[in-house]
């Protein structure tokens, strides 16, 4: 086939009709599980002010420095949202959601945009679901967030994952740790990758995330942040672990786990799947106790996670999990002649009112072609309508699976199928 003149942008993927049922099934699971945890849905615009994303996520992060889709129109600077934590916090501050009382337990589903190099499990437009608890620094909130995240994978049937956990400390602990890390790395810095050398001054903790082979030997024996956490951060981290243990949620502590956004404080976690190849992070999140204030609100602690929906669906494929049943239509009206077509068109609404899904041929095709089409559409029943049937007021109802036929009035058909 000739290449079409217009295609979607690289890394931006159409979800075609054969794919959409599994997306809807997944969305239903997310809505249901979020409701069980008493989270409420929030929907924010696809575009945000560039300044919000830069402030929220951090100027030096990969997302902001390399991956945002940004443009200007008039005096406004727009960015396609690369994630939803900063936008949700913006909405929280803008609409004074704290006035609703208690902690705000919010969840979302939607497209995000990052100008990354596309590969399996990595797109430029991708979808996340996620949840945020804004207004609590209780480790219970951290653990409920992790429990909700995991529950959704379990509901889907994915049990094969590893939860990696770390504490990145509060700013005070982090400053002491960064100093220790710099002193440790400095003597060998010239042997390390260019990227790590660049990160050394401003963001040495990101070096721990380096995939460059020449960095690995130095990272392996680097000091770990746990030894530099102050009392508050240590106590919080221990409580998170204690509650996870009590819930029977397995985890491994990964002292090198650093996340790609600057807003994290204390708890950080990632859910890793062995079924995904190189893009193996199903989901990630953590605590961001300073972000609300950074964006202009009152100091308000918060914690959340976000999960990649494409990656979840790839894991389903690898594990042979089918989320959606095959599409069917209850009844297909097979028509012979003009009078039958008019009858079918005017009786479709009645079938639909009776709660059935119902369709007919739109192309004036032969009976054989219509039967073939009904098969392709996975029709459970066909009703055959011709002049004789219209005169008699009785129609042949065919059960397509059992190849069984009955001659019935339209009312009897509705009763039988309804």
Residues near ligand HAM, by CB under 6 A: 83, 85, 114, 116, 121-123, 126, 128, 130, 132, 260, 281-286, 288, 304-308, 310-311
Minimum separation from the CB atom of position 148 to ligand HAM (A): 12
Residue 53 CB, shortest distance to ligand HAM, in Å, is: 11
Strands 125-134 and 104-113: antiparallel
Name the minimum Å distance from CB 239 to ligand HAM: 19
Q: Which residue's CB is nearer to ligand HAM, number 136 or number 370?
A: 136
Identify which of residues 319 and 354 has a Cβ nearer to ligand HAM in the complex: 319
CB 11 to ligand HAM: min, Å: 8
Question: In Å, what is the CA distance from 387 to each residue of 287, 344, 358, 408?
Answer: 70, 12, 21, 15
- Strand (E) or helix (H) holding 133: strand 125-134
Q: Whose Cβ is closer to ligand HAM: residue 309's or residue 344's? A: 309
Which is closer to ligand HAM, CB of 178 or CB of 311? 311
How far apart are alpha carbons 192 and 189 in whole angstroms?
A: 5
Task: Please report how close the Cβ of residue 376 comes to ligand HAM at its closest, in angstroms.
Answer: 33
* Nearest position to ligand HAM, beta carbon: 308
Q: Which is nearer to ligand HAM, 204 or 285 (CB)?
A: 285
| Cα–Cα distance, 188 to 271 (Å, whole number) | 32
Of 119 and 188, which has the nearer Cβ to ligand HAM? 119
What is the Cα Rg of the chain in Å? 28
Cα dist from 322 to 15, 148, 158, 172, 312, whole Å: 16, 21, 11, 47, 12
Tell me how far CA of residue 6 lies from CA of 3, 114, 126, 228, 410, in angstroms.
9, 22, 20, 55, 46
- Quote the least distance from Cβ 310 to ligand HAM, whole Å: 5
Reported in sequence order, the residue ranges of 192-328 that DSSP labels E, i.e. its strands, are 252-253, 267-272, 281-287, 302-308
> What is the C-alpha separation between 323 and 189, in angstroms, rounded?
49
List Cα–Cα distances, 386 to 95, 329, 413, in angstroms: 61, 21, 16
Min CB(411)–ligand HAM separation in Å: 52
C-beta closer to ligand HAM: residue 311 or 398: 311
């Amino acid at each position: 086939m000739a290449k079409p003149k217009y295609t979607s942008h690289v890394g931006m993927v159409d979800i075609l009709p054969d794919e959409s049922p599994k997306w809807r099934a997944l969305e239903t699971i997310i809505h249901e599980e979020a409701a069980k945890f008493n989270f409420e849905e929030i929907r924010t615009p696809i575009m945000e002010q560039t300044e919000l994303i830069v402030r929220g996520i951090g100027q030096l992060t990969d997302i902001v420095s390399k991956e945002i889709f940004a443009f200007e129109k008039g005096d406004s600077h727009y960015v396609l949202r690369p994630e939803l934590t900063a936008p949700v916090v913006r909405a929280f501050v803008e609409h004074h959601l704290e006035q609703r009382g208690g902690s705000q337990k919010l969840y979302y589903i939607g497209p995000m945009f990052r100008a990354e190099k596309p590969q399996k499990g990595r797109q430029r437009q991708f979808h996340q679901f996620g949840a945020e608890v804004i207004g609590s620094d209780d480790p219970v909130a951290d653990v409920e967030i992790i429990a909700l995240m995991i529950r959704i994978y379990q509901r889907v049937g994915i049990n094969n994952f590893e939860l990696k956990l770390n504490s990145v400390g509060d700013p005070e602990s982090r400053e002491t740790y960064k100093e220790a890390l710099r002193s440790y790395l400095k003597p060998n810095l010239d042997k390390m990758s260019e990227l790590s050398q660049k990160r050394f001054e401003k963001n040495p903790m990101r070096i721990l995330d380096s995939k460059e082979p020449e960095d690995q030997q130095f990272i392996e024996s680097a000091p770990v942040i746990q030894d530099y956490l102050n009392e508050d951060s240590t106590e919080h981290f221990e409580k998170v672990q204690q509650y996870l243990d009590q819930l029977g949620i397995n985890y491994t502590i990964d002292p090198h786990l650093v996340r790609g956004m600057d807003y994290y404080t204390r708890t950080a976690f990632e859910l890793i799947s062995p079924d995904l190849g190189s893009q193996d992070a199903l989901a990630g999140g953590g605590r961001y106790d300073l972000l609300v204030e950074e964006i202009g609100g009152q100091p308000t602690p918060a914690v959340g996670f976000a999960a990649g929906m494409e990656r979840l669906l790839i894991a389903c494929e690898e594990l042979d999990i089918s989320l959606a049943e095959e599409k069917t239509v209850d009844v297909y009206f097979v028509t012979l002649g003009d009078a039958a077509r008019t009858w079918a068109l005017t009786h479709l609404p009645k079938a639909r009112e009776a709660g059935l899904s119902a369709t007919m041929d739109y192309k004036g095709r032969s009976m054989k072609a219509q039967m073939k089409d009904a098969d392709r559409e996975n029709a459970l029943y066909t009703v055959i309508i011709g002049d004789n049937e219209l005169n008699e007021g009785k129609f042949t109802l065919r059960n397509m699976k059992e190849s069984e036929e009955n001659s019935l009035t339209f009312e009897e058909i509705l009763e039988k199928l309804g």
